[in-house]
Amino acid sequence: MAYKLVKNNRTLTGSIRLVGSKSEGNRVLIIRSLAKRKFSIDNLSEAKDTVVLLEALDIIKRIKYPAETQTIDVGDTGTAMRFLTAFLAIQNGNFILTGSDRMMHRPIGILVDALKKLGADITYSDRKGFPPLLIKGKPLTNNSVEINGSVSSQFISSLLLVAPTLQGGLTLKLNGQLVSQPYLSMTLKIMEHFGVKHSWEENSLFVPQQKYKSKSFSVGADWSAASYWYEMAAFADEVDLFIEGLNGDYLQGDSIASTIFTQFGVITTFEENGIRLTKKQALPESFEFDFADCPDLAQTLAVTCAGLNVPAKLSGLGNLSIKETDRLYALDNELLRLGFKVGIQNNSELIIQKSSKSCRRNYPVKTYDDHRMAMAFAPLAMLSGEITIENPEVVQKSYPEFWNDLQKIGFEIL
């Protein structure tokens, strides 16, 4: 299956409402399952990532015979795999935590090693360091551990979310250069919303033993999803787009998109119920940015720079290889196929050079089972008039309404 996107003009006007942030929602779902009293969650995303976690937590809650082994299959949902690893380690029961074939190739050894040092009973059913995991839930006996923070902030967030429920709390010593630090800050701010305090001194994080306070939570609109509309605005000649639900209360690190895209002439105005994008004609002579703190924006900016023929150096991409696909390879491969001049440097940088060629319209974009590949390349239809995206259903993972929203704003889907 493939979608051919057609856009006969470079006008971006209208109004859309974005999905709730799966990053916020997934953290709150874990907290609700750990809290003594349940609470309401408003604007919870209907994205596949959140639905899978919600269903898994519901299965765990309904277990009547803890001695029986329960299989939890999270498919390709990396957040669920990581958050549930720590969550299941302290539950009363026996579990097999598994997922898709791609999930079996996404490393989780750093998190498992940390949990085992805390006293968890976790073994590998196949390859060491990778799912599936055999987990025998029990109280953890230790409350201090070191963990490498240079691979995935979700490993640390997984531990932090269960930390207040542990006897004596939890002290985490963070080794290495932290990646995606805004996501770690998001975790701590959401925990604070539910009354959990922490201290962070240099490379040491401490969460005392305490109880989550049950109180309602409203999930903010997804800034990662908003980035594709910023990309379209950068490609457009005329822009007046209202995006409902976004605000200036930045829990999400990807809100930095509103700052980054000013270099490409995209102006953000905060209004009562959302933001309005407008445009002035401006392009940087070149673009450089370190995406270590916001890796989910890398594909968006890579395609933006290639499409606008802006030479660029995108760095801090070393952990893209452990995402839904090897995103650095996938970006390089598809941009090359479309006729752009790109290359990988030091296994962590993408270099984009000026090119005299325009985007090849007759090469369908492969998505590699990655939602962000589909959404980052789709806006190229504004420049070339049309673009074909293979396996468009992958957007269900984070932004199920993406294609419908494109149609609302004037794209045709054939």
Say how far apart CA 149 and CA 177 lie, in whole Å: 6
Say how far apart CA 343 and CA 385 lie, in whole Å: 26
pLDDT in tens, 113-170: 999 999 999 999 999 999 999 999 999 999 999 999 888 899 999 999 999 999 999 9
Say how far apart CA 139 and CA 118 lie, in whole Å: 10
For a pLDDT cut of 70, what percent of the chain falls above it? 100
pLDDT of residue 249: 65
Q: Could you count the other beta carbons within 10 Å of the beta carbon of residue 51?
A: 18
pLDDT of residue 223: 96
Q: How far is CA 293 from its chain centroid? A: 12
Say how far apart CA 413 and CA 313 lie, in whole Å: 32
Task: Say yes or no: do domains 2-19+221-413 and 22-218 share a fold.
Answer: yes
For a pLDDT cut of 90, what percent of the chain falls above it? 87
Are the C-beta atoms of residues 155 and 114 closer than 8 Å to each other? yes
Are the C-beta atoms of residues 12 and 241 closer than 8 Å to each other? yes
pLDDT of residue 35: 96
Torsion angle of the four alpha carbons 72, 78, 81, 85, in this order, in degrees rounded to the nearest 10? 180
218: helix, coil or strand?
A: strand
Domain boundaries, the chain: 2-19+221-413, 22-218
Torsion angle of the four alpha carbons 36, 190, 209, 144, in this order, in degrees rounded to the nearest 10? 130
Topology of 22-218 in CATH?
UDP-n-acetylglucosamine1-carboxyvinyl-transferase; Chain (3.65.10)
The half-sphere exposure of 107 on its side-chain side, counting CA atoms within 13 A, is 11
- Residue (of 400, 333, 374) closest to 5 by Cα position: 374
Say how far apart CA 273 and CA 246 lie, in whole Å: 7
Pairing of strands 170-175, 204-207: antiparallel
pLDDT of residue 66: 83
pLDDT of residue 311: 97
Q: pTM for the full model?
A: 0.94
Say how far apart CA 50 and CA 181 lie, in whole Å: 21
Which of 49, 254, 296, 369 is catalytic? The answer is 296
Examine the pLDDT at 84 and tell me if it is beyond 70. yes
Say how far apart CA 263 and CA 308 lie, in whole Å: 12
Weakest mean pLDDT among 26-40, 182-196, 248-262, 298-312: 248-262
- Residue (of 16, 27, 17) closest to 50 by Cα position: 27
pLDDT of residue 405: 98
Active-site residue flag, 101 = no
Architecture of domain 2-19+221-413 in CATH? Alpha-beta prism (3.65)
pLDDT in tens, 347-360: 999 999 998 777 77
